[in-house]
Amino acid sequence: MKKFNTITVADLSTKCIQRTPFIIEEILPKGLTILGGLGKVGKSWFSFWLVMQVAKGEPIWNFKTTKGTTLYLAFEDNEERLQDRLFMLNDEIENAPANAHLCIEISKMGGELESRIRSFMEEHPDTNLIIIDTLQKVRGNTESNYISDYEDVTILKNLADEFKIAIVVIHHLRKQKDSDIFNQITGSTGLQGAADTMMVLDQNKRGEDYATLHLVGRDVKSRELELERGEDNIWILLSDSLHELNVKDTNFVNAIDKLMRDADFWTTNPTELSTLISAESGDNYSNKMVTKVLRRLAKSLENIGIYCNMRKSNGCRIIDITKMRDDSSDNIRLLK
């Protein structure tokens, strides 16, 4: 008769256990990660950048990476598109990593995909990151319910655990909004139940230059990373919910605070505000960018008593900024 192989709480309390290694410090541990996002939100660009940075051992924002061979299964792309992205992400051809591998030939789960991953691991035992784009492309079973979702994702999780690597699977979101962003991931909760880490790349409006990367998981701290798309399509980290505002955001908030130092109310426009903020903060802000940053940093501004309202008047954009003070109701000062 088989018995449970148990460990007592007392023995567990004194046992030396190796902590889960991270491929990207604090962000991506070994195991299975699902990266969700709406179509054309930038998941593929982000994934290509990840495999490049890890292959070179270079940081993702301010997070260290563990250098290793990487494999990007770009099953929704072709070589022409991948080359265009490569030149955009890495303009120095001589610095293109030889240990970052790409494949566009689709293989399905249920035997072929697992076999090819095993063969790749035998040829490249230093591999530590595999990204699969997308889950739907490798599923042999098109039916989606809790059991099939859990079983399909478990196949990939078992491979990640066996080889002690990180496997990231790209997946889509439902268009229907939910108070919990992770509930928007297409499929049942079986996907979340089998995965170790969940990421969602989300935008308020598709195609804009700002996004939020939501993270939750067994070995990561829940956090939200505010990102801005750079000219080379690389996402730039603006702020981290676990840490204070970054320098650029802090400069922006301080500049608004200084402009409102001698006024309780100010009506301005994006052109005027962007010019003043750029001069005061030392960072360059366009008319369009300054309104986006105001919306994104609304909470930080409210924490210091500054409230912004954006409206239109006669077809022109107007920004009303209010500074709340103890005496503001008795002595209203206008910024002119």
Q: Can you give the pLDDT at residue 298? A: 84
* pLDDT band (50, 70, 90) for residue 330: very low
Q: Which two tokens stand for residue 208?
A: 């804009």
Q: Can you give the pLDDT at residue 157? A: 96
At residue 1, what is the residue type?
M
Cα distances (Å, whole numbers) of residue 136 to 3, 36, 71, 123, 198? 39, 12, 18, 27, 17
Query: Length of the chain in residues, anyone?
Result: 336
Enumerate the domain spans of the chain. Answer: 18-240, 247-323
Residue 259's nearest CA partner among 238, 271, 275, 247 is 275
Tell me which DSSP letter residue 118 carries. H
SS3 state of residue 143: coil
Tell me which DSSP letter residue 306 carries. E
Q: Which two tokens stand for residue 111?
A: 């035997």
* pLDDT band (50, 70, 90) for residue 64: very high
Residue 244 has pLDDT above 80, yes or no: no
Q: Can you give the pLDDT at residue 332? A: 42
Q: Can you give the pLDDT at residue 209? A: 84
Domain 18-240 fold is: Rossmann fold (3.40.50)
Q: Can you give the pLDDT at residue 329? A: 42
Burial class (CB in 10 A: 0-12, 13-18, 19+), 186: middle
pLDDT tens for 203-239 read: 877 778 889 999 999 999 999 998 988 888 889 888 8
pLDDT tens for 293-312 read: 888 888 889 889 999 998 88
Q: Which two tokens stand for residue 10?
A: 């007392």
Are the beta carbons of 82 and 88 closer than 8 angstroms? no
Q: Can you give the pLDDT at residue 336? A: 41
| DSSP-based helix, strand, coil % in the chain, nearest 5 | 35, 25, 40
CATH number of the domain located at residue range(s) 247-323 in this protein: 3.30.56
Q: Can you give the pLDDT at residue 245? A: 63
Rounded to whole angstroms, the Cα distance separating 27 from 25 reads 5
Residue 328 has pLDDT above 50, yes or no: no
Residue 30 has pLDDT above 80, yes or no: yes
Q: The whole model's pTM is what?
A: 0.73
* pLDDT band (50, 70, 90) for residue 282: confident
